[in-house]
């Protein structure tokens, strides 16, 4: 398992995410570096509370799915936002 003070991820899930979406899970921590972002609650599995964070990184709108594990955010997935998610972000942020 990879981790920092605030974030954690499963190494096998990171490899799968890189193969599927071309994005490493550790990079998702950058969405919490003070940039403008949209945080919203998402449907979880088996009662787990999950969240989605949408933000722009390198001129691309990205979505990170995550959950709390203790005091850390645990990465579930990290990918480019789809059209509906990009629109929600732009409406919430004010057209950025």
Q: Quick check: 55 and 37 in contact, CB under 8 A?
A: yes
Alpha-carbon distances of 21 from 13, 24, 46, 94, rounded to whole Å: 12, 8, 25, 27
Has residue 94 got a pLDDT over 90? no
Per-residue model confidence (pLDDT) at position 81 = 97
Per-residue model confidence (pLDDT) at position 4 = 82
Coil, strand, or helix at residue 3? strand
Q: What is the mean pLDDT of residues 2-11?
A: 90
- More confident site: 6 or 95: 6
CB neighbour class for 30 (10 Å; exposed up to 12, middle 13-18, buried from 19): middle
Mean pLDDT over the full length of the chain: 91
Has residue 95 got a pLDDT over 80? no
* Total structural domains within the chain: 1
Residues spanned by the domain of 70: 2-93
């Amino acid at each position: 398992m990879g981790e920092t003070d605030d974030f954690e991820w499963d190494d096998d899930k990171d490899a799968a995410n890189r193969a599927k979406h071309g994005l490493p899970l550790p990079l998702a921590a950058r969405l919490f570096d003070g940039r403008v972002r949209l945080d919203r609650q998402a449907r979880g599995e088996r009662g787990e509370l999950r969240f989605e964070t949408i933000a722009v990184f390198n001129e691309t709108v990205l979505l990170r799915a995550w959950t709390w594990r203790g005091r850390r955010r645990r990465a579930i997935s990290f990918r480019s936002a789809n059209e509906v998610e990009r629109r929600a972000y732009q409406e919430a942020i004010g057209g950025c």
